[in-house]
Structure 1
Amino acid sequence: MSAIGKYIRPALGLAVVAALILVPMSFSRYGLFILSQWAVMTIAAMGLNLTLGYAGQVSLAQGAFVGVGAYAAAIMTTHGLPLASALVVAMLLCFAIGWLLGYPALRVQHHYLAFVTLAFSTLAFLVFRNESWLTGGTYGISNIPRPHIFGFATGKPLPFYYVCLGMLGLVTSATWWLIRSPWGRAFVALRENPIRAQSLGVDTRRYTLMAFAIGSALGGVAGAIYAPLTQYIDPVPFDLSLSLDLLMMVIVGGSGSFFGPFLGAMIAVLLPEWLRFTEGYYLLLYAIAVILLLIWSPTGILGILDRYLADRRTKVASAQRALAKSRLETAQ
């Protein structure tokens, strides 16, 4: 059974990847936009999951970092610079800001830290709205170009969807490596018991800053892809509601679970679209579905799976003990 299970996960992963590549070929323009938006929001949620789920630091500023990345990409690409350069600048800029924002996390925790990041989110929104010489103010920035990659244009919805999917694949691979590296183990130790982690030689100060910085950088990456996806940005999409949506994605999917952001973003982006047949009630039904899920499983969707697997292991272990006891009695 274990030998079969060894091959089931890679086969399932390949099937999902193949479906994400092949199935959207028949989608409409709007369907491709929604799926591209799912890929972008998953990248941003992965960054927040690294900060919150693995390092245990509460942040309400992830939406602001998406905005910083989006405006950096929009300003640079509309002035003729390539998207690759804009992506690097957005990532480094958000990394630097996240590093500085991480300093309050060295002194305050939990809801106090949430208020600090909330203040930064508000400040970023005010800059997006009021500094019109840089951001265009309430008029925003339009005509954001989509890139040419190896000579191929990505202006149409399907090619740019593959750009979003490819970026999601790169970020997923990098995050997978990071979580399994000594840095990832240090993040988990920081979340579980910072005092014990420090007594074991973990530099809690540096890793707290690193968790904020890397998570913020992934928000910048998501924003740099979001700008050419929509080809127009203004301050409204980057207000506090985006940070709350990303927080909900992480919690609903399963905070601290690697694949939690994928499922959480699917619920937040795709479920409202699937419920549109209810017309004016789809947002109400969506909210009720999320509330019921969190009441039933506060650890998110993957928490349900974890409980099921734990119950199954317990039943298998009990059956094995009963069988061993029966054989022992028979032998006696």
Structure 2
Amino acid sequence: MRKLISGMANKRIQKSIFAVLILIAAIYPVLFSGETYMLFLLCLLGIYIIVNTGFDLSFGYSGQISLGQAGFYAIGAYITALLSLSGAPVIFTMFCGAAAAALVGFILAKPCVKLVHHFLAIVTIGFGEIVRLIVLNGGEVTGGPDGLIGIPPLSLFGFELDDYGTYFYFVLIMVLIFLLAKVRLVDSRVGRAFLAIRDNPDASEAFGLKLSRYKSLAFTVSAFYAGFGGALYAHLVRFISPESFSAEQSNMFLVMILIGGMGTLVGPLLGSTIIIAVTEVLQQFGNYQMLIYGIIIIFVLFVMPNGIAGTIRNRYYHDFANVPARKGKGDASSYTVEGG
């Protein structure tokens, strides 16, 4: 009973925060249409939320730590850029880029599902670096170190989304779709299997769950999200180069998840928003930027090891678990949370 009450409260809180954030995001471009840079940051924030939402399925829900998300991010960006430059419809190339990233993720997941913790992290670091080196040395195909320029803007029903304001609404719609897909997946039998494998893989396998199947699925879905985020990024900036997909980008995704909170709906939203805001604020400190950035991250992780959303969730669970029991004889309105 206690878990049921805390779970209901947790969902209500997450939905409330989510609704407020979406409302603010939808209104902002209308009220501040002249603030081009802020609209660009909002588009970038939406892209990061999509990538981290998928990353959370792999890391937060199935317990697979990956430090190569930038590799899938790059695959999605380069595939959509190359196809759209050849004349293919942009919306089609975006999903092609995401599908290509998912395919690579599925292939990579086959040997990686047998690895755990730092072993998996090391392999994914290597994967991300391999992808970066391929696009760096891809010659005329990938543009090499100079990258690809002139990537066409997204066009829907003959209307080009060639400014940050209109493109942001498309990104916002994609964020809602991908978040809804995550919610449906987490609430399904597959999502429960992810959690069981994360919490106790040996017991899960003993009860008949096939670890390799579910871990591969989580890894593949995570790669699809990252690939689609990369495709959105390519058509946002219309220029991509290997520098945009370095190991630092993967580390940033990881930090966003850790600070926001793993295994939660709003964790990727909070983490992405906070890191982007902190990065912008710290630009004025020049050479001391990374030092202050690191201190902030260490402080947050020490104070809130479960991230912001995870800490709030645990705090509310503790509060509801200690609700005093109310006793009564024959009273239909009486209830108890003891022993539930």
Whether TM exceeds 0.5 here: the answer is: yes
CA distance in 1, matches of 2:20, 2:127: 41
Partner residue, 1:107: 114
Give the CA RMSD over aligned residues.
Answer: 2.3
Answering whether residue 8 of structure 2 is matched by residue 15 of structure 1, we say: no
Partner SS state of residue 133, structure 1: coil
Answering whether residue 276 of structure 2 is matched by residue 269 of structure 1, we say: yes
Displacement of 1:314 in angstroms is: 4.6
AA aligned to 1:102 is A
AA aligned to 1:20 is A
CA distance in 1, matches of 2:38, 2:163: 13
The runs of at least 4 consecutive aligned structure 1 residues that moved more than 6 Å come to: 5-9
Displacement of 1:212 in angstroms is: 0.8
Written as runs of structure 1 = structure 2, the 5 A alignment for 1:237-316 is 237-276=244-283, 281-316=288-323
CA distance in 1, matches of 2:213, 2:268: 25
TM-score, normalized by length of structure 2? 0.87
Over 3 Å counting, the alpha-carbon distance change for 1:75 and 1:12 in structure 2 is same
CA distance in 1, matches of 2:318, 2:213: 38
Question: Which structure carries more helix by proportion?
Answer: 1
CA distance in 2, matches of 1:259, 1:214: 18
CA distance in 2, matches of 1:9, 1:138: 42
Displacement of 1:287 in angstroms is: 2.7
Displacement of 1:167 in angstroms is: 1.1
Stretch deviating more after TM superposition (81-90 or 51-60): 81-90
Partner residue, 2:73: 66
Displacement of 1:123 in angstroms is: 0.6
Answering whether residue 174 of structure 2 is matched by residue 167 of structure 1, we say: yes
Displacement of 1:271 in angstroms is: 2.0
List gaps (5 residues or longer) in structure 2: 329-340
Answering whether residue 207 of structure 2 is matched by residue 209 of structure 1, we say: no
Displacement of 1:100 in angstroms is: 1.2
Partner residue, 1:36: 43
List gaps (5 residues or longer) in structure 1: 325-332
Work out which of the residue numbers 152, 171, 175 in structure 2 matches 1:145: 152
Answering whether residue 54 of structure 2 is matched by residue 47 of structure 1, we say: yes
Aligned residues: 319
Stretch deviating more after TM superposition (187-196 or 144-153): 144-153
Q: Residue 39 of structure 1 contacts residue 165 of structure 1 at CA under 8 Å; is this kept in 2?
A: yes
The CA deviation string for residues 233-271 of structure 1, in whole angstroms up to 9 with x for no partner, is 000010111111101111111111221111111122122
The CA deviation string for residues 123-165 of structure 1, in whole angstroms up to 9 with x for no partner, is 1010010011321001100111111212322101100111111
Q: Residue 261 of structure 2 contacts residue 307 of structure 2 at CA under 8 Å; is this kept in 1?
A: yes
Q: Residue 46 of structure 1 contacts residue 218 of structure 1 at CA under 8 Å; is this kept in 2?
A: yes
The CA deviation string for residues 154-207 of structure 1, in whole angstroms up to 9 with x for no partner, is 101100111111111111111111111111111111111112111222121111
Work out which of the residue numbers 116, 136, 144 in structure 1 matches 2:143: 136
Partner residue, 1:226: 233
Displacement of 1:217 in angstroms is: 0.8
Over 3 Å counting, the alpha-carbon distance change for 1:81 and 1:211 in structure 2 is same
Percent identity over the alignment? 31
Stretch deviating more after TM superposition (192-201 or 55-64): 192-201
Q: Residue 49 of structure 1 contacts residue 261 of structure 1 at CA under 8 Å; is this kept in 2?
A: yes
CA distance in 2, matches of 1:134, 1:192: 44
